[in-house]
Amino acid sequence: MLDAQTLPLLAKGKNLLAFSAGIDSTALFYLLLHEKIPFDIAHVNYHTREQSDAEAAHARALAAQYGKQCYVYDSGEILENFEAEARRIRYGFFDTLMEAHGYDVLLTAHQLDDRLEWLLMQLCKGAGLPELLGVAPVTGRDGYRLVRPLLGTSKNELRAWLDSRGYRYFEDASNRDPRHTRNRFRTQHAAPLLEQYRSGIRNSLEFLNRDAAALPPLPVPVIDLDFLMLIGPLERSALMRAVDRWLKRQGYLLRQGEKERMLSEDSLVLGRRYALSITPRCTIVTPIADTSMPKSFRESCRVLGIGAAVRPYLYAHPDHFTAVREKLAAAAGEAKR
């Protein structure tokens, strides 16, 4: 069931498994054991359901049973935008563990159902090939790789495998709540399609992944702190994908309308949280700032090719403005050679 292409990465690396105690991550836990791949586990307790504490206790007990290290993070109450905030908390926790303990690979248990649900949702919203595919078997993050070895296996296959061996797992009843859009896509569309066309869907997604691998790479940030800077005139769809990826790491999910505006507009405010400026010399995304600036600073930014939307933040953070100015000067020097 594990993707054969990812096994060499796991055999050589120091691995951390994102473990929820559900079907997918429990199956991945035991499959890794069967392959004798070393790993530890990390669990986030959001305290949103009655069984949340039981799941955290199960994670600790399972790790102890098999001699694994278990890290558990107790999240505070999330009052709004649960999915995005939970993701920010989850990956913030994982990033901290990866750096503190020297892990090379973060394992997640995304599987075939997840891929199809995502594709159908993006198809109905309007998306390009990278957005339709959503997740890849291996993705690079800051200082480590994120590996998803179950993308070719359906949830029903994982459930049957666990049940045949008597392994315990938890099921989240909220995954069947029709009030959530993804659950409706799962039960009304993805699940029936997989029941009838699983093999063809699996093959099609693999073909699409190969096609996506031939796309131009995303622009590389020259500054990636609490703001993002990309150098030069950039193809708009690749630019939008690069900004979208960075914002996701900050816990902000671009709306479809914002993505469409980025394809044609040069200055945007995103969710009242971020300012985006696109000029021929650079693209910069910063947190929103509201401060008055002297005319001399505005003129300096104009000469450098820094858009108006991000100037207040850079004025309020002179060290960041200096870094931007130095990067632009270096790029100009390289262009003259």
Domain contains 253: yes
Range of lowest pLDDT (18-22, 127-131, 220-224, 287-291) = 127-131
The better pLDDT of the pair 253, 107 is held by 107
Query: Whose CA is closest to 38, among 84, 107, 86?
Result: 107
Co-location of 127 and 187 in the same domain: yes
For residue range 43-80, what is the model confidence (pLDDT) as tens digits?
999 998 889 999 999 999 999 999 999 999 999 888 78
Provide mean pLDDT across the span 213-229.
88
Average pLDDT, rounded, for the chain: 92
Indicate if the pLDDT at residue 173 is higher than 80.
no
pLDDT surpassing 70 at residue 337: no
Question: Do 129 and 81 belong together in one domain?
Answer: yes
Tokens of 112: 């075939």
Which of the two residues, 173 and 206, has the higher pLDDT score? 206
How much is the average pLDDT of 200-210? 91
Clarify whether residues 235 and 327 are in a common domain.
Answer: yes
Q: Are 288 and 183 contained in the same domain? A: no
With cut-offs at 50, 70 and 90, classify the pLDDT of residue 164: very high
The reply to whether 171 and 297 lie within a common domain is no
> Residue 39 domain-assigned?
yes
Asked if the model's pLDDT at residue 172 lies above 90, the reply is no
pLDDT over 80 at 180, yes or no: no
Instruction: Verify that 317 and 208 share a domain, yes or no.
Output: no
Assigned domain for 128 exists:
yes
Among the candidates 193, 213, 233, a domain finishes at 213
pLDDT above 90: percentage of residues in the chain: 68
Angle at 321 (CA atoms; ends 319, 322), nearest 5 degrees: 65
Average pLDDT over residues 214-225: 86
Eight-state DSSP code of residue 37: -
Last residue of a domain, one of 171, 186, 213: 213
Same-domain check for residues 81 and 120 = yes
The partner residues of 277 in beta bridges, in order of sequence, read 267, 284
Residue 29 has pLDDT above 70, yes or no: yes
Cβ 110 vs Cβ 148: under 8 Å: yes
Are residue 194 and residue 255 in the same domain, yes or no?
no
Give the pLDDT confidence of 286-330 residue by residue, as tens digits.
999 999 999 999 999 999 999 999 999 999 999 999 999 999 999
List the structure tokens of 203.
Answer: 């093959």
What is the pLDDT, as a whole number, of residue 245?
86
**For position 88, which CATH number holds?**
3.40.50.620
Q: Which residues pair with 74 in a beta bridge?
A: 45
User: Using 50, 70 and 90 to split pLDDT, how confident is the model at 209?
Assistant: confident
Domain count, the chain: 2
More confident residue, 268 or 176: 268
Query: Residue by residue, what is the 3-state secondary structure of 116-160?
Result: HHHHHHHHHHCCCHHHHHCCCCEEEECCEEEECCECCCCHHHHHH
Structure tokens at 304: 């450098």
Higher pLDDT, 129 or 41: 41
Instruction: Give the structural domain span for 290.
Output: 223-336
**Predicted pLDDT of residue 52:** 94
Whether residue 177 is predicted with pLDDT greater than 80 in this model: the reply is no
Asked whether residue 1 is domain-assigned, the answer is: no
pTM value?
0.75
Answer yes or no: is 218 within a domain.
no
Residue 148 located in a structural domain: yes
Instruction: Reply yes or no on whether the pLDDT at 4 is more than 90.
Output: no
Measured CA to CA, the distance from residue 173 to residue 177 in angstroms comes to: 7
With 70 as the cut, is the pLDDT of residue 41 above it? Answer: yes
Domain annotation covers residue 2: no
Q: Are residues 147 and 167 in the same domain?
A: yes
On whether both 122 and 21 belong to a single domain, the answer is yes
Are residues 187 and 322 both part of a single domain?
Answer: no
Q: Is residue 120 included in any domain, yes or no?
A: yes
| Domain boundary, last residue among 178, 213, 248 | 213
Helix (H, G, I), strand (E, B) or coil at 257: helix
pLDDT, residue 82, reads: 80
Q: How far is CA 93 from the centre of its chain?
A: 14
Are 261 and 146 in a shared domain? Answer: no
pLDDT of 316 reads: 96
Contact 235, 72 (CB under 8 A): no
C-alpha distances (whole Å) from 65 to each of 60, 68, 72, 198 are 9, 8, 16, 35
